[in-house]
Chain A
Amino acid sequence: MTRRILLPLMFVCATVVGLFIGVNFASPELYVPQNHSSSQYHVNPQYSEITSWQSSRDLMEIMSALMDDTGSVVVKIREKDFETAEREYRRLVGQGHNFENIVVDLELSETEMGEFNRYNQRNQELIRRLLDDSKRFEELKSLEVRYRDEKNPSALYSVTYEGEGLKTQIQEVTRQYDQQAPAFTLLGQQFSLNTTGYLQSVSEVESLAQEAGATQETRKAEADTLKRTSPVTAMPASVDSVTLEVQPDQATFGDTLRLTAWLTGRFPGEQTVDVYLDSQRWASGRSDATGRFQYDLLVDRVRAERHVLYAAHEGVYSPLVNVTIVPTDAALSLEVRQLAERNVSVSGTLTAAGLPVPGAEVNIYLDNIRVMNTLTGGDGVYRAFLPLQAGMYTFRTASSDSTFPLRAAESPPLTLTVSGRAGAQSVITTIMIYATFLILFSMGAVVYYRHQRGGGGPFEFRNPFAFLKLPRRKEIPARTPPEPAAAAPPPSEEASPPPPTAEEAATTPDRSREFVLAQYRQLIIGGDHPNAVQGLYLFLRDQLARKYRIRDHRSFTPRELWRLTNNKTCFGDFTKFIHLYETVRYGGAALSPEESESLVRWFEGTSSAVESDSD
C-alpha cells in the first residue's frame, strides 16, 4: 500500500521538478552580481558603496576660494607684503590641488570644471612669477639706494639692467594675466561665483606693472645722472663699453640665436662676458683677442614671449636687446601595446621642427580622463605603464608645457582591447605550479604504494578495489544455498585471517549465545523479525572475527563475511543462515515458525562449528 502511494507520488514530484528545471534549462540565467547591478530604470544600490558626495558644494566652495584668494595674493604683492603673499600663495596652491583632485576623481577634466582648473593652474603659475619678480624688483630698490649712496654708477647700472629685465617680465606676466581674465571671469560667472576679488586682482596686476615701469624709468634716469656726475677713477677700467647683437630678433623652437658682443676699451681681449635673459644669466664665455664674443644659443626651453637680453662685463652693460620667441607646432606620437596580463605600455615621441623635445610634460588620457603625466627623455620619447582591467580603452596623450615655445600637441586617439588572459609568463608559471603539484602527488603515491607492497611498517596493504570482485546480488540463489566451494573463490593469501589465540577462542561463552537466542525469540514474538535476525547475525559475525582474526569485520557485508568462511567447517550452516538472514533483513520478509526454527538451527550449527574449529 505504502509503495503504491509513495512511488507515484515521488514520480509526480520528480516530473514537476524536472519540468520546472527544464523550462529554465532552455535559457539559463546565471547569477552574477554584474548582471543585476543595474537596469533600465535604476542601479542596484546594494552593489555600490554608499558615499555622501555633495560635490557641487565642495567644488563651488573651492572655486570661490580660488577666485578670492587669487585676488588677495596679488593685493599682498602690490602692498609689498611678500611674506603674507607667500603664505597666501601656498594656501592658494593647496586649494588648487584639492580642486584638481576632485576634478580627476570625478572625471571632469574635459568639462567646464576642467577648464576652470586649467585657467587656475595658469593663474597660479603667473602669480608665482609675479611674486618672484616683484620680490626681486623690490630688493633692487635697496641695492639702488646703497649704490647711489656709494656713488657707484656701474653697480647702479647693473641694478638698472636687472630691473629692466624684471620690469619686462612683470609686464609680460601682466599681459598674460589680462589675456585670460575675461574667459576665467566668464567661467566663474557661469557657476554664479563672486568674481569681484579676481577682477580686483587683474587691476592690481596692471597697477603693479605700471609701478614697475615708472620705478624703472626713474632708476635709469638716476643711473645716467650719476654716471655723468661721478668723478673719473684713477685707474680706468679695462673695458669701456659692451654692445650686444642678437640675430635673429625673432625665433622659435629649434632655431639658433647668434649672440655677438663687442667689448671696447683698453684691454678688451679675452675677457669674461655674461649674457642675461630676463635678468637671468643665460650664457657665458670669453671674448677673443679683438674683444669679440660670439655664442650660438639653441632655443629650446624658453617661454614663448618677448624677452630682454643684455651682455655684461664687470659692471659694464650693453644696451638692452629685445627678442621675441614665437610658439611653433609640436607633434606627439602614440603607441600602445599590452605587455602582459592587464599591463599596458603607453609610449611616443614629442617633436617640434623635426627635433625631439626633451623634458617636456606629457599627459596620458584614458577614455578622455587624465590618468597620468610623465616627462619626455633626452630623445623626446615618453613612456608609461598602466595596469588596467580587461576591456576596451581609448588612449590619447597631450602636451602643453608652457615652459617650451610650443603650441599644445595632442596625439591621435588609439583604441586597445585589453585582454584578461594570462600572459605567456603567467601561463608558464601556472603550468609549473600544476606540474610540481602533480610530480609531488605522484611521488607520494609511489612511495605509499611501495610501502604497502612491502608489507612492513604500520600499514597492511588491502586491495582498495576488492569490492569489485564481490558477486552481484542476483548471483545468489533465492532460497537455495550456493554450492560450497565451487562458486566461491579461495580466499586470497592476503585476506586469510590470522590464527586465533587461545584466550580469544575462550571468550565466547555459551551463556551469551543463549542470551542472544532468548532475545531473538522475544523479538520474534513481538513481530520485529528484522531486528531479531540481526541479533543472531551480529553474534556470529563477532564470533567469526574473533576466531579467525578478521580485521575490520564491522565493515564487512554478510556476503563478504560468508565468502571468508568458504573453507571453514561452518560454511554449510552459515550459507543457509546468511541467505535467510538477507531475505528477512533486506527483503522485508517475515519468518514463518518453521523458518525461524531453521534459522536458529543453522545459527547454532555455525556457532558450534566455529567454536570447535581447530584451525
Chain B
Amino acid sequence: MIPIRKIVLLAVVLAALSCIPLYLHLTTSTAEFSRYNTQWNGTSLFFGDLEERGAVMVTDLAGIPSYPDSRLLLLAPDRAFSAGDLGAIRSYVTGGNTLLLADDTGTGNQVLEGIGARTRILPGNLSSLDFYLWDTQSGRYQPSSVIASVTREDLLTSKVEVILLNKPAAVEGGEVLAETSLMSWMDTNGDRRINPDEPLGTYSVFARERVGDGTLYVLSDPSIFTNGMVQLPGLENNTLFLEHVKDAPVLLVDQSHSRTGEAGGLIPLLAAARSTKVMELLMVAIVSILIAYLFHRRIL
C-alpha cells in the first residue's frame, strides 16, 4: 500500500506541473503580432531584443516629440489615429526624427496622410515568382513569400541585398529602396496563380521619403518582425535589415495603435508584476515560504 504521504507528494508535483501550462497560457497571447505571443505569428523575440536594448514602449503618442534624434517604430497599426496623435507624429517627424511604418493593411495610410507624406500603402496580396517558401503539404510554391531586391543604398539597407517578405502589400510613392522582380503580381483572387486579369509588374515594397527635417520609411510587410520569420534559418539579409532597424540611439516603439501591443487576460498584470523588482522578489519569497511550510509539515 502506498503511504498517504507519497500520494500527497505526487499530487503536489502534478499540481505544480499543471501550473506550468496554466502560467504559460495566462502569460502569453495568441494575438497576431502581439509582443506577448511566443508563437510563430507573435513578435516576442523581436520585442525581447528591443527591451534588452532599452527601447521605449510608447503608450501615448503625445509624448514622442520630446525624444529628439530618435526613431519611432510603428508596426502593424490596427486602429484609427486621433487628430492629436497625428499632430504629435507630424511634429515628431518634421522635427528631424525618423518614423518607420510597417503595414500591409492600409491602416497606416492615415498616418502617411496625416503627416503630409506622399507615399502610400497599397493593400493587396502581392505575389511573386521570386519566392522562398514551398508549401510541402500542397506541393505548391508560396508566391506570397516574396523576395524583394534592394535597389538603393540607405542606412537601413546597407549591405542588404534582398528582403524576404511574407504576404506583403505594395508601396506607392517615395524613393524606392526595395522592389519585387518584374514577375510579380497582385493575386486578387488569392488562387496563388497568375490570372489574365492580374498583370505582371514590379512593385515597390520599401520606400523612403523626406518629410520636413525627418525621414519616413514605409515597409509594406510587418510580418518580417514575427517570430516565425525571425527564427527562419538562412535569412541573413533579413537579420541584417532588422539589425539596422533596431540600431538607433533612441528607439521608440508604439504600443498604443499597434497590434504588437495587444494583450489579454492576466498579461498586463503579470507583466507589471514582473517589471518591478520588488514585486518579483515578493513573488519568489511567497513561493519559497510555501515550499518551506510544506517541508516543515512533512508534506513534501
* Chain A residues at the B interface, C-beta cutoff of 8 Å: 1-2, 5-6, 10, 13, 16-17, 20, 33-34, 36-37, 39-57, 59-60, 105-108, 110-113, 191-192, 368-369, 530, 585-586, 588
| 0/1 string, B216-244, CB within 8 A of A gives 1 | 00000011001011011110000000000
Is the CB–CB distance between A55 and B131 below 8 Å? yes
Q: Whole-angstrom distance between the alpha carbons of A6 and B299 in the complex? A: 9
Check B223 against A53 for contact (C-beta < 8 Å).
no
Given A44-B40, A586-B1, A51:B195 Cβ within 8 A: no
Question: By the criterion CB–CB under 8 Å, are B130 and A54 in contact?
Answer: yes
Least distance between B234 CB and chain A CB atoms (Å) = 6
Report B250-274 CB contacts with A as 1/0, cut-off 8 Å.
Answer: 0000000000000000000000000
**How far apart sit A48 and B196, CA to CA, in the bound complex (Å)?**
27
Q: Do B144 and A43 have beta carbons less than 8 Å apart?
A: yes
7 pairs of residues in contact across A and B, judged by CB atoms under 8 Å: A6-B299, A13-B15, A16-B22, A17-B18, A41-B167, A42-B229, A106-B129
Contacting pair B129 A59 (CB below 8 A): yes
When A39-B41, A42-B223, A45-B145 are in contact, do A20 and B22 touch as well, CB less than 8 Å? yes
Q: Which residues of B contact A (CB under 8 A)?
A: 1, 3-4, 8, 11, 15, 18, 22, 25, 32-33, 39-41, 76, 104-105, 128-137, 140-142, 144-145, 147, 166-167, 181-184, 192-196, 200, 222-223, 226, 228-229, 231-234, 297, 299
A51 touches B133 (CB 8 A): yes
Is A53 a contact of B8 with CB atoms below 8 Å? no
Kindly list chain A residues whose C-beta atoms are within 8 Å of the C-beta of B182.
56, 60, 191-192
- Bound complex: CA of A49 vs CA of B299, how far in Å? 51
Give the residues in chain A near B195, CB-CB below 8 Å.
110-111
| Count of chain A to chain B residue pairs whose CB atoms are closer than 8 Å in the complex | 142
A388→B142 CA distance, assembly (Å)? 20
* Contact of A2 with B299 in the complex, beta carbons under 8 Å: yes
Decide: A39 and B32 in contact? CB cutoff 8 A: yes
How far in angstroms is the closest Cβ of chain B from A19?
11
Do A46 and B22 contact each other (CB < 8 Å), given the known contacts A54-B147, A55-B183?
Answer: no
Question: B136 to A48, Cβ gap below 8 A?
Answer: yes
| Residues of chain A with a CB closer than 8 A to B136's CB | 47-49
Residue of A at shortest CB range from B149?
Answer: A54
In chain B, what residue has the closest Cβ to A40? B32
| 5 interchain residue pairs of minimum CB distance | A56-B181, A42-B223, A55-B129, A56-B183, A48-B133
Given A13-B15, A36-B40, A55-B183, also A45-B194 (CB < 8 A): no
Cβ-neighbour of A43 out of B32, B142, B181, B193 (below 8 A): B142
Q: Which residues of B contact A48 (CB under 8 A)?
A: 133-136, 142, 145
Q: Choose among B22, B40, B134 the residue that contacts A49 (Cβ–Cβ < 8 A).
A: B134
Q: Cβ of B181 and Cβ of A54 under 8 Å apart?
A: yes
Tell me, rounded to whole Å, the shortest Cβ–Cβ distance linking A41 to chain B: 6
Task: Please indicate which of the listed interface residues A16, A56, A105, A110 has the most CB atoms of chain B within 10 Å of its own CB.
Answer: A56
Nearest B residue to A13, CB-CB:
B15
